[in-house]
Structures are given as structure tokens and as C-alpha cells.
Amino acid sequence: FDALAAFDPEISGVLLSELERIRGGLQLIASENMSSPEVLTALGSTLSNKYAEGYPGRRYYGGCAEVDKAEQLAIERCTSLFGADHANVQPHSGASANQAVYGAFLQPGEKILAMSLPHGGHLTHGTKVSFSGKWFDAVHYGVDKQTEDIDYDQVAALAREHRPKVICAGGSAIPRLIDFEFFRNLADEVGAVFWVDAAHFIGLVAGKAIPSPVPYADVVTFTTHKVLRGPRSGALVCKAEHAAALDKAVFPMMQGGPQMHTIAAKAVNFKECATPEYAQYTQAVVANAARLAEKLGEHGIRPTTGGTDTHLSLHDLQGVGVTGKDAEARADAAGIVLNKNAIPFDPQKPGIASGIRVGTPCVTTQGMGLEQMDTIAELIATAVVKGDADPENAVSREVRGAVTELVTRFPAYPRA
Ligand code: PLP
């Protein structure tokens, strides 16, 4: 680091101030986490230099003996962690892994059935602004107005009417467990491929804190940087019969050379995820999320679906008369990082939104537990309901003081 600081003080300054930003506030973005120093070491390694198009033992470049070992370890650890037939650890991101599913199973113009974005799906599940909605014909299901959970009757009706090639389950703002068996049976009935986008919750599956989609799905795509706590990247696991098609779809159809440093970091992360400590961590993430959701509810910040079974909860702010946009800004001014989020049937535009999404992967990595969730709920409620977007406002200052006290007791990346 000293050499970087001497050569490029601007960028080394950004690295240091980002570390201080992480340390100084409460990180409640549901899709973020804090990778271990071991993962970060692999990421910052010379494996970044190596071109290795192809797969272990079948490369288009010489000199791949060492990176082959890293990728082979990543594949073996990933298949073993999830009990899968096959893993591809090359996708550069969650979106790249999802592209491979389209590449393997669909021709342009063919149909996919997936969760709608405003009800908790993802951009890559057929929205018009994404390749998935521009080049494929997407039909969307949503949540039930009463339960705010997936409307399984609607899913079945749409599948029978449209007979899609692929049915997708999973999304970015789904607090509840998904009935994978229901989706499997439906996919079999209509002759569709069953794809689970487990980007958000795969870490909880790795730690066995929630049921796995792997026995049910033809293919499970995921990101490696959320609850899983690995490097910023993606991967997929699948049934043996789809291995060749998906491998070809990742490379050469969608990507060029794999990022071998990131693949090495994924291998390190999969090893971490197989430990009892990580399993305990995932149990704590879920318990913390349930408590945080409940306590926010007691402060009038209603959790949709009545709570959560996972690492995230989605909250409706209409009862306290604050928009998601204002809530995000007020929390930010008080040192609490969370995001505005559309809630199902949201009357506001997505840029304003009526809700916030909060997640517990980061604060649980810092060692916080149920008692701290009660404190965090109170701090969020104070900042969001009584606070202001001005960091100099008295409420912002007061909450920020309490945040500082909390993160000093539970530091992120503790100093040696
Ligand atoms: N799928 C889901 C459900 C996600 O939530 C995300 C990202 O948040 C992605 C895919 C895309 O992942 P990435 O940002 O790594 O492309």
C-alpha cells in the first residue's frame, strides 16, 4: 500500500476514505457484505495478469497450470458446498451468470416467465431496459395484494397460458422463502426449464440457514458478494445434463477471458462458507433480520409480508408519511446506509418509492446481535421519521453519535 500511496495519492486516498466510510457508518444495504482479508488478498494478486480463455485443462493460452489449479479448486469447493452436479465459476457478475441462462436455453424472441421488477424481481429478468426484455419475450408474475408474497396462483395461470421456455424464481427484494417444489412441478407440467436466481440468498443456502433450490432447479445462478461474502462476482451451478450448454454460454458466447484472481478469491470464499463459523453467521443474519424487521414495525415502519425469513426486509413508509427517497437521505445524514425501494403496488415512481430495504449481512459480519438490532431500529426510526437530510441537523448529529458508539464497539475491518 505504501508504494501505491507514494505513486498515486489520489487513488490511495479513495481506498483509505472508503475504508473509513465503511468503518464509520452502519451498512444496511441488503446486497452488500464485508469480504475477509483472505478473499481480498486473492483478489489483489498476480492472477489478475493471466489470460486463460477456456476451462481447466482446455485453455487457449499457455502458462495456465497454476490458474487451472485455482479454478479446479473453486469448482470442486462450489459443487461440494451446494451438493451440485456441476459448477461454472467464470461469470463476471450475477448479470453475466443470468445472461448464460438465456444463452443456453433460449433463442431471441422466446418466452420467459419471471417475477416483475416492481414486485421484487431483477432487471435481468426481462425488463425492457435490459437485454433480457429487449431480446426475449418476458411475461411477469407478482405478489398477492393481501399477503405481499409471491402469487403462486398467478404464476401457475401464466405458465399454463404462455408455456414459457424458462421459468425463473428469485429476485432482489423478496423477504420470504420461495416454494421451489411448486416451481419445479409447474416447470415439469409445462415443459419449461426451471431457473433460480439465488443472487440474494445463496449465502444463506451455503450456511444451511434456509432450504436449498439446488435439488429442484435445472440451473441456479448467483452473485458471490452478497450474504456469501466473497469477491464481487458471479457463478452458477446446474444439473449434469445442462453443464455443456451452460459452459458454452458463459464462454465463448457471453464472456472472454475469465478473471483468474476473482476465481481464486471465489475458491477462498467457498472454503470459508464450508466452516461451522460461517453456518453460525448465516443463522445470525436471519435472526437479526427478523428482529430488525419486527422492531422497525413497532416504530410504525411496516415490514411488507409481516416480516422476513431471510437476510432482508422491505418496509412500507406510508404509515409514517415519509418517501423512500427522503428516508434514504435522512438515514445517510445520520450515518446509516440503506436504500429506498419500491414496495409492491407502490403509488410512487421508482425514483421516489414508498419503501426502504434493509439487510443484516454487514452488521452481522461485524458481530452485532439481537440487542444491537433493537438499537438500530430505534436509530433508523429516529433518523427517518424525525430527522433531516442535513447532516448538521440536531437529530442527524444525535443519531450519528449513537451510530459511532455502536460501530466503535463492533468495528468493521478491526485495526490490528
Ligand atoms: N440477480 C439478482 C436477483 C440480483 O439482486 C442482482 C444484483 O443485485 C443480480 C442478479 C446482478 O448481479 P450483478 O450486480 O453482480 O450483476
126 C-alpha to ligand 1 centroid (Å): 13
- The verdict on whether 50 is a catalytic residue reads no
- The verdict on whether 275 is a catalytic residue reads no
- The verdict on whether 226 is a catalytic residue reads yes
Q: What is the pLDDT along the chain (416 residues), one digit of tens a residue?
A: 999 999 999 999 999 999 999 999 999 999 999 999 999 999 999 999 999 999 999 999 999 999 999 999 999 999 999 999 999 999 999 999 999 999 999 999 999 999 999 999 999 999 999 999 999 999 999 999 999 999 999 999 999 999 999 999 999 999 999 999 999 999 999 999 999 999 999 999 999 999 999 999 999 999 999 999 999 999 999 999 999 999 999 999 999 999 999 999 999 999 999 999 999 999 999 999 999 999 999 999 999 999 999 999 999 999 999 999 999 999 999 999 999 999 999 999 999 999 999 999 999 999 999 999 999 999 999 999 999 999 999 999 999 999 999 999 999 999 87
Active-site residue, selected from the candidate residues 232, 248, 271, 386: 232
Sheet with 355-359: strands ordered across = 302-303, 312-316, 355-359, 339-341
197 C-alpha to ligand 1 centroid (Å): 9
- The verdict on whether 208 is a catalytic residue reads no
Quote the CA–CA distance of 276 and 293 in Å, as a whole number: 26
Cα torsion 95, 113, 193, 308 to 10°: value is 70
Pocket probe for ligand 1: among 172, 205, 228, the residue whose CB has the most ligand atoms within 8 Å is: 172
Tally Cβ neighbours within 10 Å of residue 83: 10
- The verdict on whether 197 is a catalytic residue reads yes
Q: Which atom of ligand 1 is nearest to the CA of 92?
A: 15
pLDDT digits (tens, 9 = 90+) for 199-251: 999 999 999 999 999 999 999 999 999 999 999 999 999 999 999 999 999 99
- The verdict on whether 229 is a catalytic residue reads no
Active-site residue, selected from the candidate residues 226, 229, 302, 325: 226
State ipTM. 0.99
Residue nearest to atom 3 of ligand 1 (CA): 171
Pocket probe for ligand 1: among 90, 124, 132, the residue whose CB has the most ligand atoms within 8 Å is: 124
Bridge partner list, 193: 166
Q: Which residues sit in the known binding site for (6S)-5,6,7,8-tetrahydrofolate?
A: 117, 121-123, 241
Quote the CA–CA distance of 332 and 323 in Å, as a whole number: 14
Q: Which amino acid is at 401?
A: G
Q: Which atom of ligand 1 is nearest to the CA of 226?
A: 8
Q: Spell out which residues line ligand 1, taking CB within 6 angstroms.
A: 31, 93-95, 98, 122, 124, 170-172, 197, 199-200, 223, 234
- DSSP structure string for 125-163: GT-TTSHHHHSSEEEEE-B-TTT-SB-HHHHHHHHHHH-
pLDDT digits (tens, 9 = 90+) for 387-412: 999 999 999 999 999 999 999 999 99
Residue nearest to atom 10 of ligand 1 (CA): 94
35 C-alpha to ligand 1 centroid (Å): 17
Residue nearest to atom 14 of ligand 1 (CA): 94
| Predicted TM-score (pTM) above 0.95 | yes
